[in-house]
Structure 1
Amino acid sequence: MKPRHKRFLLIGIALTLLAGATALVLNAFNDNLVFFHTPSEVAAGKAPQGRTFRIGGMVVAGSVQRAADGQTVRFMITDTAQVVPVVYKGALPDLFKEAKGAVAQGKLGADGVFTASEVLAKHDENYMPPEAKDAIDQAHATAKTLK
């Protein structure tokens, strides 16, 4: 084999290895990517079914129900336009309260119930994630145009 052919072979092998490594990195990145969706987007079918994402909004007052096992909690989350039921098994954050902001991470079931693996509560009275604030503002604007 001529030196020129050996060089092409080595370059081809290096490019194949680089493409394989790039594919593995992109696959790992895609598996760990978590998007934020609002209850309105979930109701409109824009949220992925069976894939992890975050949903945020306000916890509906009077919707928090604790199961007899002491671990399972059911509540509703809203962006003031739509409501999505959430089920979470575990300890809730201390700042989690009705009529306050919360973000849940988990998967949407075929029955429309969001099964959360993690629940986050906002830190103080004035803070709201920019995505949640924008979503609530959009929901208000949409509700006004529909009336």
Structure 2
Amino acid sequence: MKPRHRRLALILGGLCVLGIGAALVLQALNSSIAFFVTPTEIASGKAPKDTNFRLGGLVKTGSLHREGLTAHFVVTDTAREITVRYTGILPDLFKEGRGVVAQGRIGADGGFEAAEVLAKHDENYMPPEAKHAVDQAHKELGMVQK
């Protein structure tokens, strides 16, 4: 094999290895992405099908029911509501009337099956996406912000 052919083979081999590595990295990133969706977007059919995503909003007061380790509660953006089922230990900061982000997917019954529940970390914090969704819902309903 001539030195010129050897160099060409090394360059092509290196490009193949680089391409395979880039494809594997993109595949890993794609599987870890979770889109943020509100109850209004779920009701309008904009939620991803058969894939995990994040549902955000406020936990409706009086909606939390526990059956052993399984908790059922309602998440609302003040315009629409969706029932969430989560099996596991809820975070210490999880309370009714406060912001929550749940990661999971839509179940066969149309409710949200959460694999992970995240609660806000202080009294005034709300994820920017959830704050925007609540503000939009208030605008649509003609409610006045405090």
What is the TM-score normalised by the length of structure 2?
A: 0.90
2:59 counterpart residue number:
59
Runs of 5+ unmatched residues, structure 2: none
1:87 counterpart residue number:
85
- Residues 1:103 and 2:101 are matched in the alignment: yes
1:15 counterpart residue number:
15
Q: CA deviation at 1:142?
A: 3.1
Mapping of 1:1-147 within 5 angstroms? Answer: 1-67=1-67, 70-144=68-142
Cα distance between partner residues in 2 of 1:33 and 1:51: 10
Structure 1 runs (4+) deviating above 4 angstroms are none
Q: CA deviation at 1:37?
A: 1.0
Cα distance between partner residues in 1 of 2:121 and 2:104: 21
Q: CA deviation at 1:17?
A: 0.6
Runs of 5+ unmatched residues, structure 1: none
Cα distance between partner residues in 1 of 2:7 and 2:125: 59
Q: CA deviation at 1:137?
A: 1.0
The code of the aligned residue for 2:73 comes to F
- What do you get for the CA RMSD once the two structures are aligned? 1.3
Percentage of pairs with the same residue = 58
What is the TM-score normalised by the length of structure 1?
A: 0.90
Cα distance between partner residues in 2 of 1:65 and 1:90: 13
Cα distance between partner residues in 2 of 1:125 and 1:64: 19
Cα distance between partner residues in 2 of 1:73 and 1:81: 23
Cα distance between partner residues in 1 of 2:71 and 2:28: 31
Q: CA deviation at 1:13?
A: 0.8
The code of the aligned residue for 1:39 comes to P
Cα distance between partner residues in 2 of 1:124 and 1:30: 31
The code of the aligned residue for 2:111 comes to V
Cα distance between partner residues in 2 of 1:124 and 1:39: 23
